[in-house]
Amino acid sequence: MCSRPIRSPCVAWPQEILYDELRRFVGVLMPRADGVPLGAFAFHAELLKKQFPSWTRYDLTRLCLNLSASVHTLHRYGVVLGDLHPGNVLVSPDGTVCWVDADSFQIEDYPCSVGTERFWAPEL
């Protein structure tokens, strides 16, 4: 992933591999992403009003369009979201989104190895 950079505000994409002083892998550097997890408000009107009290149906429509555009952006880079889970995307007050769970991405011949059973295709 670090060798195929994606510079887009819609995804917290790994930027650099991090090693300790003995050159052992310890993690990756990723941009900071702020927002509220989509699952924390999207499925209950009361939670939506608590998180974004001024939002209207217009804002919800804008959020849906931003989600769709973000998936399209990832697809243009050859990335398939292997786990479309509402906890994997952060939403800002202006309705912008950022996918944050990069280990659920499928890239080239590297399939997604994680997922949420209730979101799996029936044949799985």
Is residue 98 in a domain? yes
Q: What is the pLDDT of residue 117?
A: 72
pTM: 0.82
Is residue 120 in a domain? no
Is residue 106 in a domain? yes
Residue 11 and residue 91: Cα distance in Å, rounded?
11
Is residue 77 in a domain? yes
pLDDT digits (tens, 9 = 90+) for 50-82: 999 999 999 999 999 999 999 999 999 888 887
pLDDT digits (tens, 9 = 90+) for 5-28: 888 889 998 889 999 999 999 999
pLDDT at 106 over 70: yes
Is residue 96 in a domain? yes
- Expressed as residue numbers, the domain containing 62 is 1-16+34-115
Q: How many domains are there within the chain?
A: 1
Is residue 61 in a domain? yes
Is residue 9 in a domain? yes
